[in-house]
């Protein structure tokens, strides 16, 4: 059945998210879930969920329990475990339009990390676009304040002609995005941006010309630095003064050695170097964090031993939706915006075979594939020069190595410092500075891809703040 995943998620959230509350008329809750609103996708979802609830006594019982909370005199939609599925709560968020707030378009938006950072700084999202369906699913779920018609799935070149029509607001202050550029590993560094594989960069330039925002932000790999002069010239031709700088997430209160090239440009006569100076000033005010800060308070898990059961869940190996431990620290409070989290999402260990678990167990934090303690069982012993980082046990008192999309294949380079397993998606998300209630949807391995390709929300917020001061 369509939307069945949504229904299962609602049931799990009710199970772990309600602290107390008696039973009440389920129609109280169902009427809010199906609240009329100008969002065809969410209206269709609500109708299907409502029909399923009415047809199943178990679902109806859950709704009775939720209604006890929903109908309470001190009701707080912000604390409701299913507020991202509730049309009444979503409609309220979508109607809360601040005409004075700066407006953002996020192209190549991925799972929405950069958008989240800008939204936390008070920006309103006018349009988001990505080609990955799982990213759009995650984005739409976690950004209910944006009507679904302004979250567009598809190739940027297919929607290019309708960008301004698709945008929620007629005037956009900032265009953001990180177009994938595949040609920067080439030895030939001449006119890299003319490499056919980098055509999405050219699409970004075209979008910039069409939208005409006051500022733009473009994020990319450090390898693009060799092509920065060409990119700056291209942006100048489009009417924008530009500066580029390499930023490392670890210098901005994020426990990760993540180096990225950031372009910031404007067409309104502002000093881009001053924007970067402000970003760096904010970074100096941030408390440095290490891996242990990000992993703090999460439930210990064991690796799954069932290779083909990625959907299987248990107390031992973790659950996609589970009750939070309640333990917190300064870093967790920062990424959660000071909110007390009753649930934790995507904290589920992946499968590992016996050999890998044995390797994980023998290694100490900081050890790699060439460590003598695993020489007898190391499968790549003859090629340690190439695969010396095939296995790496993370060090709790240092920043984490760069979280990458490669984690969708395995987490052998991201071994938990104290548990014989790879990092869970939630642990990776915390390292990226996502809040604990940010739900990565889609196939299990795809969650790693979404997280690894993200811009850390905390870094996005810092960039957003520095630009906002110049608008």
- Give the integer Cα–Cα distance in Å for 178 and 404: 15
Residue 430, token pair as written in the block = 């915390």
> Residue 8: CB partners within 8 Å, gap ≥ 6?
none
- Give the integer Cα–Cα distance in Å for 318 and 233: 50
Give 254: exposed, middle or buried? Use CB within 10 Å, 0-12, 13-18, 19+.
buried
- Give the integer Cα–Cα distance in Å for 224 and 217: 15
Phi, psi (5° rounding) for residue 22?
-80, -170
- Give the integer Cα–Cα distance in Å for 432 and 405: 12
Q: What are the Cα distances from residue 389, in Å, to 344, 349, 367, 384?
A: 30, 21, 9, 8
Q: What are the Cα distances from residue 390, in Å, to 109, 281, 379, 393, 425?
A: 30, 37, 10, 10, 19
Residue 370, token pair as written in the block = 């060439």
The answer to whether residue 181 is catalytic is: yes
In the set 80, 135, 181, 400, the catalytic residue is: 181
Active site residues: 181
């Amino acid at each position: 059945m369509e939307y069945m995943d949504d229904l299962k998620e609602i049931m799990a959230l009710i199970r772990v998210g309600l602290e107390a509350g008696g039973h009440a008329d389920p129609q109280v809750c169902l009427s809010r879930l199906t609240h009329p609103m100008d969002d065809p996708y969410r209206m269709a979802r609500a109708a299907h969920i409502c029909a399923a609830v009415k047809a199943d006594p178990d679902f109806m019982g859950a709704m009775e329990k939720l209604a006890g909370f929903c109908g309470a005199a001190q009701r707080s939609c912000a604390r409701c475990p299913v507020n991202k599925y509730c049309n009444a709560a979503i409609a309220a968020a979508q109607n809360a339009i601040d005409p004075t707030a700066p407006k953002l378009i996020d192209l190549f938006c991925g799972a929405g990390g950069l958008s989240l950072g800008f939204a936390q700084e008070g920006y309103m999202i006018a349009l988001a676009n990505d080609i990955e369906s799982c990213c759009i699913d995650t984005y739409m779920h976690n950004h209910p304040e944006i009507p679904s018609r302004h979250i567009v799935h598809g190739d940027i070149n297919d929607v290019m002609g309708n960008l301004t029509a698709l945008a929620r607001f007629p005037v956009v202050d900032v265009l953001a995005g990180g177009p994938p550029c595949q040609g920067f590993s080439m030895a030939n560094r001449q006119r890299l941006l003319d490499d056919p594989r980098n055509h999405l960069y050219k699409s970004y330039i075209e979008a910039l010309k069409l939208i005409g925002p006051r500022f733009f932000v473009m994020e990319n790999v450090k390898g693009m630095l060799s092509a920065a002069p060409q990119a700056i010239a291209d942006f100048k031709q489009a009417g924008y003064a530009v500066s580029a700088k390499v930023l490392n997430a670890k210098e901005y209160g994020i426990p990760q050695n993540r180096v990225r090239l950031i372009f910031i440009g404007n067409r309104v006569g502002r000093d881009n170097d001053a924007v970067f100076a402000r970003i760096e000033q904010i970074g100096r005010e941030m408390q440095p964090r290490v891996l242990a800060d990000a992993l703090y308070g999460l439930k210990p898990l064991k690796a799954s031993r069932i290779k083909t059961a990625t959907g299987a869940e248990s107390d031992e190996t973790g659950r996609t939706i589970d009750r939070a431990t309640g333990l917190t620290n300064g870093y967790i409070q920062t990424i959660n915006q000071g909110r007390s989290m009753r649930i934790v999402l995507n904290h589920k260990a992946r499968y590992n075979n016996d050999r890998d678990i044995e390797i994980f167990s023998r290694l100490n934090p900081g050890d790699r594939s060439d460590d003598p303690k695993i020489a007898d069982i190391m499968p790549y012993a003859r090629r340690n020069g190439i695969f010396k980082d095939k296995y790496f046990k993370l060090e709790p008192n240092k920043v984490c190595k760069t979280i990458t999309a490669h984690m969708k294949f395995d987490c052998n380079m991201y071994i938990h410092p104290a548990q014989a397993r790879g990092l869970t998606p939630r642990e990776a998300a915390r390292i990226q500075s996502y809040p604990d209630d940010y739900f990565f949807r889609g196939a299990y391995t795809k969650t790693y891809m979404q997280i690894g390709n993200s811009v850390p929300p905390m870094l996005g917020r810092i960039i957003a703040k520095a630009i906002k001061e110049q608008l």
